[in-house]
């Protein structure tokens, strides 16, 4: 892959004034074969030229001389659960915890203050009698490339449900940020009027929370899944 520059549009905000983690990871993933794993080293600035360079069989993303992300190939095994229906996911989303408290209300994926054309408006809530958070997603506009979903948008859609599941089931009161994400996607990810996204907690170690997420078609076909590492900014509610 030749070295190149990328600029992340300010519309794709995650934490305040920083790029959305899953979207950033998804921008790097097409340059790698097989499944991709991206580690975010620093907050990624919006609207500036970032240098993408090949390095040691993987990729490195720089903001000037500062390393902000590293990407390598990996191989994922699915832990995706049986999906809820679109109706069940929509009902779960009505109890989205972020409606009452959110550290990132301007997040392009789950931000409750976002109603613009770029906003995903994915609001995952607890699914009755299951250790899952679920939401329905209705991709529109820039998320679509013909009859497919753009990879960066699919990665972004997989990001926040896992983060909210990590906070919900990990009993974390303060905000958390994405540290690492690996994902597998169907090629291409077929677009539908509605998709189901679920997230779950896999473990907690000190300030680190390990979570997964999956994306499904309306019929329940698996279209993508991820594993993620999140970092609690404050230790409130996190054991260890």
pLDDT in tens, 168-201: 999 998 889 999 999 999 999 999 999 999 999 9
Task: Pull the structure tokens for residue 188.
Answer: 């291409």
Taking the C-alpha atoms of residue 228 and residue 211, their distance in angstroms, rounded to an integer, is 5
Does the pLDDT of residue 238 top 60, yes or no?
no
> pLDDT for 213-232, tens place per residue?
999 999 999 999 999 999 99
Given pLDDT bands bounded at 50, 70 and 90, which one contains residue 240?
Answer: very low
Q: Could you give the count of Cα atoms lying within 13 Å of 162 in the half-sphere of its Cβ?
A: 32
Residue with tokens 């300030």: 207
User: What integer is the mean pLDDT of 50-57?
Assistant: 93
φ, ψ for residue 201, nearest 5 deg:
-90, 135
* Domains along the sequence of the chain with CATH: 4-74 (3.10.129.10), 86-232 (3.10.129.10)
Phi–psi pair at 101, nearest 5 degrees: -160, 125
Looking at residue 134, what is its pLDDT?
A: 98
Query: Does the pLDDT value for residue 1 go beyond 60?
Result: no
Peptide bond into 183 cis (omega under 30): no
The answer to whether 200 and 133 have CB atoms below 8 angstroms apart is yes
pLDDT digits (tens, 9 = 90+) for 151-172: 999 999 999 999 999 999 999 9
Q: Confidence band (pLDDT; 50, 70, 90) for 103?
A: confident
Cα distances (Å, whole numbers) of residue 148 to 11, 30, 35, 53: 21, 15, 19, 28
The DSSP code for 13 is: B
What average pLDDT does the segment 102-114 reach? 95
């Amino acid at each position: 892959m030749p070295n190149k520059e990328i600029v992340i549009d300010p519309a794709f905000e995650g934490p305040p004034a920083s790029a959305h983690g899953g979207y950033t990871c998804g921008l790097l993933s097409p340059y790698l074969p097989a499944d991709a794993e991206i580690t975010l080293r620093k907050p990624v600035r919006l609207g500036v030229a970032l240098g993408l360079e090949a390095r040691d069989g993987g990729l490195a993303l720089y903001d000037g001389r500062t390393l902000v992300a590293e990407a390598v190939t990996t191989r994922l095994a699915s832990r995706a659960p049986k999906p809820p229906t679109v109706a069940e996911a929509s009902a779960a989303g009505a109890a989205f915890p972020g409606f009452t408290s959110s550290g990132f209300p301007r997040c392009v994926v789950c931000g409750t203050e976002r109603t613009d054309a770029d906003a995903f408006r994915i609001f995952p809530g607890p699914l009755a009698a299951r250790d899952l958070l679920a939401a329905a997603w209705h991709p529109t506009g820039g998320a679509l490339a013909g009859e497919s979903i753009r990879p960066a948008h699919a990665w972004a859609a997989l990001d926040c449900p896992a983060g909210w599941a990590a906070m919900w089931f990990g009993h974390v009161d303060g905000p958390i940020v994405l540290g690492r994400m690996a994902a597998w996607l169907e090629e291409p990810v077929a677009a539908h009027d509605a998709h189901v996204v679920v997230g779950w907690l896999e473990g907690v170690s000190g300030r680190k929370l390990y979570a997964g997420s999956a994306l499904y078609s309306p019929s329940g076909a698996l279209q993508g899944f991820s594993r993620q590492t999140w970092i609690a900014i404050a230790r409130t509610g996190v054991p260890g």
